[in-house]
A and B are shown apart, each in its own frame.
Chain A
Amino acid sequence: MSLSATTTPPSPAAPPPRPPTRRRSRAHTLTRLDLKYSPYLYIAPFFVIFGIFGLYPMLRTAWMSLHNWNLIGDRSFIGLDNYTALVSDEYFWNATMNTFGIFLLATIPQLLIALFLANLLNRTFLRARTLFRMAIFMPNVVSVAAVAIVFGMLFQRDFGVINWLLGFVGVGPVDWDAERWSSWTAIASMVNWRWTGYNTLILLAGMQAIPRDLYEAAALDGASQWKQFWRITLPMLTPTFVFVVILSTIGGLQLFTEPLVFANGNIIGGDQREFQTLAMYMYELGIENLNTAGYGAAVAWAMFLMIAFVSLVNFLLVRRTVK
């Protein structure tokens, strides 16, 4: 994030000398007030609404998590008890495992494919480039609920297209929502489908910002395309790649809609919680059962800390390996 791109603020226009009549000096005062205070008026709508409906609930989550809190009833302070309970809560660890399992299945193929496609779209003499870009991005336009409905049908056990295709290679009909690995695969494929194109475009933007003459020099030195990709494209792409990885982490660890709709609205995600994610568990505790809202708030903070931690690790890892 470059804040240094800030232009120097305009120096306040020097007021032209004026005869000191009363009306003039009042106008002058108004102008000075306008210059000094109106900026705050312009940024106020954002900060007021964000403060009330964004910042305050986030802080309140922390406060809530220290209580035994019923959203429509009593509350009592219990210190860190909710957090110690989390440590030995098998549903919490189950949801954590599901979230990370789906996250890895969704993110790794997605980023590799996006990198590959972006590299193809970056060719100089590519025909129909706008068409390809639009087609690849189009899944991102569809709502997550719609994606989950359509993919739920594609993965249907008895007459879904996926099982029909698998039949040709001798794989028997898979009951996709009955097992952990299969439900993870189905859900991850929804995420992959919706987000690969988006990430492709972001990576493509990063690639196009790499100076052309680097490639020209390397080509003159006889470096192959593969070598150019490895030695120039990837290192120069690091900032964009970090950005994409962190965005995917923030989105991926909050996964909610795909597994919920895939489970036909069952908030525990499969009969045996095979694909209940952390966000679903938080929702179950805080909003489906209002009386465990304090515990749900603890899950929310645990989720936030995991997202922050994974983002940081990714950031350091990607930085190091690519450099």
Chain B
Amino acid sequence: MNSASRRLWRTSPLTYVALVLATLFSIYPFYYMIVIATRSLDSINDVPPPATPGGSFGDNVGRVLDNDAANFLTGLLNSVIVSAVVTVSVVVTGSLAGFAFAKLRFRGRNVLLLAIIVTMMIPTQLGLIPLWGMVQDLNWYDTLYAVTVPFLVSAFGVFMMRQYATQAISDELIEAGRVDGASTFRIYWNIVLPALRPAAAVLGLLTFMETWNSFLWPYAVLTPENPTLQVSLAFLSYAYYTDYSQVFAATAIGTVPLVIVFVLFGRQIIGGIMEGAVKS
């Protein structure tokens, strides 16, 4: 038994060496981003390349903010608005539909659920060009409607909430609500929504990060005058690719909020991703 268990569970020092290496690989670009973002411009082309942070972060940020062409603050504000609205909407609509698919009985339920799963597998770029035309027709070009409204619902959100509701809420609980005369909406509001809270939090975090980071669509329908953060970063990097410390300072400002969210809630995010993987 002893030798068998050693075979089974050996964690050799090499395991740690490999994992520490992988960690360094993961972390290094973050560190490098901070280094360049805090350096003055003239130290960027040093050989060997700069390896430690400098003291020019304030200067660099100042250049970003003074840069009229980048509209960085507008981009930051737009990203906060869009990400917040999309997140709330995806969680609310996802929990409503997820509850219905998990706990209510209605005709066509299985077919419609299957449709949702199929849509998760369809590449989003397939509809890109006509959607761009629709945005023109609706007069939404260069407005936040264009980057918000199409993303107010998510098939993944519905599916995730449905999976969670199926196992987290017992049928007896819902039936007890019915016997007490509660309407379906009362049951959703008083019983289902509180029980869904852990999954809703993970869905909200994932949706927020995805919306904050999305690029192709905002890039297609917004202009540099009214960008989201990512679009602003891209235009900044095109136009000022020689002023790396300015571009990196902006990139760092756009990245740090997500890193903070991840450090605070990473455990839940990772748990949610891993759980979702096994269930589907």
* Contact in complex: B126, A261 (CB < 8 Å): no
- Which residues of A126-173 are within 8 A (CB) of B? 126-127, 130, 132-139, 141-147, 149-154, 158-161, 164
Q: Which residues of B contact A95 (CB under 8 A)?
A: none
Count of residues in B whose CB is under 8 Å from the partner chain: 116
Complex-state Cα separation, A152 to B212, whole angstroms: 21
Q: Would A146 and B18 be within 8 Å (CB), given that A34-B183, A42-B188 are in contact?
A: no
A-B contact pairs, 20 of them (CB 8 A): A6-B166, A10-B171, A13-B178, A36-B106, A39-B100, A53-B150, A57-B134, A124-B11, A126-B15, A138-B27, A142-B259, A149-B233, A149-B247, A161-B49, A224-B7, A225-B7, A228-B8, A254-B123, A256-B215, A265-B238
**Is A215's CB within 8 Å of the partner chain B?**
yes
- 8 Å CB contacts to A: which residues of B53-79? none
Of the candidates A71, A124, A151, A206, the one whose C-beta lies within 8 Å of that of B278 is: A206
* Residues of chain A at the chain B interface (Cβ within 8 Å): 1-3, 5-13, 16, 31, 34-36, 38-40, 42-43, 45-47, 49-50, 53-58, 60-61, 64, 71-72, 113, 116-117, 120-121, 123-127, 130, 132-139, 141-147, 149-154, 158-161, 164, 193, 197-198, 201-202, 204-206, 208-209, 215-216, 219-220, 222-225, 228, 240, 243, 246, 250, 253-254, 256-257, 260-261, 264-265, 279, 282-283, 286-287, 293, 296-297, 300-301, 303-304, 307, 311
Q: Check if B93 sits within 8 Å of A45, measured CB to CB.
A: yes
Q: Find out whether the CB atom of A58 lies under 8 angstroms from the CB atom of B126.
A: yes
The answer to whether A160 touches B49, judged by C-beta atoms less than 8 angstroms apart, is yes
Q: A46-B158, A60-B130, A134-B262 are in contact. Are A219 and B112 (CB under 8 A)?
A: no
Residues of B within 8 A of A205 (CB): 273-275, 277-278
Instruction: Determine chain A's interface SS by DSSP, over half rule.
Output: helix
B4, B97, B234: the one contacting A43 at CB < 8 Å is B97
Q: Is B225 an interface residue (CB 8 A)?
A: no
With CB as the reference atom, state the residue of chain B lying closest to A63: B130
Q: Across the interface, which residues of B come within 8 angstroms of A307, CB to CB?
A: 123
Within the complex, what minimum Cβ distance (angstroms) separates A130 from chain B?
A: 6
Q: Are B23 and A71 in contact (CB under 8 A)?
A: no
Tell me whether A141 and B258 are in contact (CB under 8 A).
yes
Cross-interface CB contact of A132 among B23, B45, B258, B267, cutoff 8 Å: B23
Q: How far is the CA of A16 from the CA of B11 in the complex (A)?
A: 62
Question: Which residues of B lie under 8 Å from residue A283 when comparing CB positions?
Answer: 128, 216, 220
Given A3-B110, A154-B32, A287-B220; A12-B178 close (CB under 8 Å)? yes
